[in-house]
Structure 1
Amino acid sequence: MAVSLSDFTSPGAGAAAVALITYLLTRPRMRAEARKLEAESERTRAETAKLLAESATQPTSDAGSSDLPKGWRLTGARPEDYDFGLDSQVHRSGTASAYIRARPNAREFGSLVQSFRADDYVGKRVKLSTVMRAKNVAGYAAMWLRVDAGESSVAFENTQSESRRLSGTSGWVRREIVLEVPPEGEKIVFGAFLSGDGCVWIDSFVFEVVGDDVPLTKEPEQAPQTHPVNLDFTQGVN
């Protein structure tokens, strides 16, 4: 059947054509936005996975580790993008602090790490605390504590949440983690890390066994909803 020009210029056909053209023009943008959201979500999942799986067990040859504190080693997704060492001028107690400083165009994160056997701590509640100081941190700095059993992590917590991380410039700030060491725990791993530009100093870690009266610091997981809510979007924002 032949189609005349008037078929496209009629009101109904014109509206349909406009709708079709609008859809075709906006579809690539919608796809791009969806890919961007998916990439951001994947990056967040990847950062957490990298912390859970210690990605390096020995100092990286390209990292600035000539002044690495005794008993500590380097890890992280990109330890070669960071300098590590001791600072005898900036410290809160003792004679020095450890620092992590980003090199130009630093990627991912770099971390100071230490580990030891969990034998004396299984079944107990432990607390790791320290004081940290930040300067021009564009991303964030945080501390972390993990318990491993073989190749798996059986307990893990860090302070990279919005309310506990360090960013920008700050004086000495106390941070702590309290968690329970599961009976199957074999190794305890802990440290501090920097993600992005800037510098962070870490002064005097303290690791101790505490009683059950000391509350756990892990933020509680949100309970799953039992029914749908705000289906008409009239209840504002969180």
Structure 2
Amino acid sequence: MAQMSILEVLKNTLRYTTTTTFLLLDEQRQRLLVLTLREQSSPTMTQAATTRGSVPASPLTNDFLANVLHALGGALEEVAIDTLFGERLGAQLHLRDQRGLHMVNASLKDGLLLAQREQSRISVSEDVLVRRSVTLAHYGKTEAEQFAEIVRRAQQDPTSLRPPVQEVLNLDFSHGLRGWHFLRGASYGSYELDPHTSLMGRKSLAITLHQPFTHGSSGMLHYSGPLAEHYRGQRVRLSADVKVEQMHQPELTLYLSWPTDNISTLTGRHANASCLTHSQIVTHAGENSWARHEMVIHVPQQAQSFSFDVGTKEQGKFWLDGIELGVVDSSVALTGTLLRPPSPQPLNLDFSEGLEYWEKERGSLRHYEIAVDAITPPCATLKSIKEAPIGSCLLQQRLISEDYQGKRVRLTARLKARDVATHGSFFIGSFPGLREGHVEEIITGTTSWVPLTLDWQVPVQSMGMLLFGVTLQGPGQIWLKDVHLQTVGES
């Protein structure tokens, strides 16, 4: 374990989030470790604390722990930081009383705050330092310059104080479940490595979902990590093999994220932006019970981290194996990029880039297909692929509405329909599906190419989003081309 000292503790409170950043310096004054703690408080607690002033009405957790320790005649000698809880960092407290030395595991937050309060020694494992510390020499010529730059970065964006990453870690579960997080409680499901059910001849990750998930996001499994330098500016493919039992195939999503110059009103830190793509299932040459998912996306130069999510709301069991991330050339088609936050202007309205920047929703049962017809000029198509399809499908773009609020916009396009038995719709609005939140043109039956025009008065308060696109419910097929969006006047 390497002995560390506290170089600086930075605290920032914005609205209901308090962020405390510890800067730990090693004895040789060469390596620095940044550890960030965040604490959420309710509006009621925040208002009460403001009314009382800066002195809390009751002891904080670390004050309580320290008082109990002193009352028992003990002392905190050292706080050792290591990976104690899966991939998460934890603290081991070295406590001494009349009976000797005792080791007690604690959260990283409690350990750091106690060490600061009691001015005890702090040590960090070499494994943690190798993976998370940075070298001071990279931040200036003199020690004063280095410390000033470190503090500046820690105040603006602590994530910038991370070491460069050479390669993605643990997509093959060679390090157990490091980096993998199951996002639901034990009553909803469990996960474990399975050495018996495997496509690649090694352990797969088995997920058992005990009951349907009827509220909240469908996301139930998450992996994240920093992005290696050599992926930036390249087209990459993340592929994975999934086997299901008594459920449909889940949806896989790849995210690439980076900090922006915008300050979050919730955290006071630089807000993140991201691009993402959802998986497409391709034919697998091996065992038929395994389905191959592929996600292909261009990595922006500013991307710093990636994450990989698996989502479903169903009950059942599935296995995850054969996960690979690699660079591919431009001949490998992108699988549809979405931006978060969305663009303020429409993108790829002529479908020349496939379905890039268009959102697709076709339901977990996959009774619909959304694609681009390779004609000149190209057009998008939505069609049912089952005789009696369940649910509906949607193709839409989502824009930030700031530039359009209070203005009248006009959406035009040409559509064609074949055997639309129930209905389809061409729409624009803030809340498609609510009568007062959008305008639409209903599509039924069979038609040749017809021009459609929709005018929409964008509300001054439209929840920040403008959406437009086409839907299909029931049997049939719809084509879409020549899409244009323009402002036609103020309110």
Task: Report if TM-score (shorter chain) is over 0.5.
Answer: yes
Higher RCO (CA 8 Å, separation ≥ 6 residues): 1
Is 1:88 aligned with 2:202?
A: no
Aligned residues: 164
Question: Against the structure 1 CA distance between its residues 79 and 141, is the aligned structure 2 distance closer, same or farther, given a 3 Å change threshold?
Answer: farther
Give the Å deviation of 1:71. Answer: 2.2
User: Could you tell me how far apart the structure 1 residues matched to 2:278 and 2:443 are?
Assistant: 37
Structure 1 residues 86 and 112, CA gap change in structure 2 (3 angstroms):
farther
Q: 2:256 corresponds to which residue? A: 147
Q: Pick the structure with greater CA Rg.
A: 2
Amino acid of the residue matched to residue 217 of structure 1?
A: T
Answer whether contact 2:211 2:314 (CA < 8 A) is retained. no
How big is the shift at 1:110? 1.2
Q: What does residue 330 of structure 2 align with?
A: 212
Identity %: 18
Match of 1:181 in 2: 299
CA displacement, residues 212-237 of structure 1 (integer Å, 9 cap, x when unaligned): 12221226135974358787844274
Q: What per-residue deviation string (whole Å, max 9, x for no partner) do you get for residues 160-188 of structure 1?
A: x7x77xxxxx7111111110011221111
**SS of 1:185's equivalent?**
coil
CA contact (8 A) 1:140 1:195 kept: no
Structure 1 residues 146 and 118, CA gap change in structure 2 (3 angstroms):
farther
Q: 123, 135, 154: which one pairs with 2:245?
A: 135
Question: Would you say 1:202 and 2:202 are equivalent positions?
Answer: no
3-state SS of 1:71 partner: coil
- Asked whether the equivalents of residues 140 and 196 of structure 1 are also in contact (C-alpha less than 8 Å), the reply is no
Task: Supply the AA of the counterpart residue of 2:275.
Answer: A
User: Do the aligned partners of 1:135 and 1:200 also contact (CA within 8 Å) in 2?
Assistant: yes
**Equivalents in 1 of 2:209, 2:242: separation in Å?**
16
Show structure 1 runs of 5+ residues with no match: 1-57, 60-67, 165-169
Q: In proportion to residue count, which structure has more helix? A: 1
Q: TM-score normalized by structure 1?
A: 0.58
The letter for the 2-side match of 1:147 is L
Distance 1:206 1:188, change over 3 A: same
Q: Tell me, yes or no, if the aligned pair for 1:92 and 1:203 is still in contact at 8 Å.
A: yes
Report what 2:144 is aligned to.
Answer: none
Q: Which residue of 1 aligns with 2:83?
A: none
RMSD: 3.1
Contact 1:75–1:112 at 8 Å: present in 2 too? Answer: yes
Indicate the residue corresponding to 2:63 in structure 1.
Answer: none
Letter in 1 for 2:317: C
Q: Tell me, yes or no, if the aligned pair for 1:100 and 1:193 is still in contact at 8 Å.
A: no
| Structure 1 equivalent of residue 235 of structure 2 | 125
**What is the TM-score with the length of structure 2 in the denominator?**
0.30
Could you say if the C-alpha distance between residues 227 and 111 of structure 1 is closer, same or farther in structure 2, counting changes exceeding 3 Å?
Answer: same
Contact 1:111 1:194 in 2 (8 A): no
Distance 1:105 1:215, change over 3 A: closer
Alpha carbons 2:224, 2:305 under 8 Å: kept: no
User: What residue is the counterpart of 1:25 in the other structure?
Assistant: none
* C-alpha distance in 1 between matches for 2:177 and 2:304: 23
Q: Is the Cα contact below 8 Å between 2:205 and 2:319 reproduced in 1?
A: yes
1:204 and 1:234 mapped to 2: Cα distance? 44
Aligned partners of 2:196, 2:251: CA distance in 1, in Å?
22
Q: Is the 8 A contact 1:133 1:173 kept in 2?
A: yes
Higher strand share: 2
- Is the deviation greater in 97-106 or in 179-188? 97-106
Residues in 2 aligned to 1:229 and 1:90: alpha-carbon distance in whole angstroms:
47
Q: Tell me, in whole angstroms, the C-alpha distance in 1 between the residues paired with 2:294 and 2:257.
A: 19
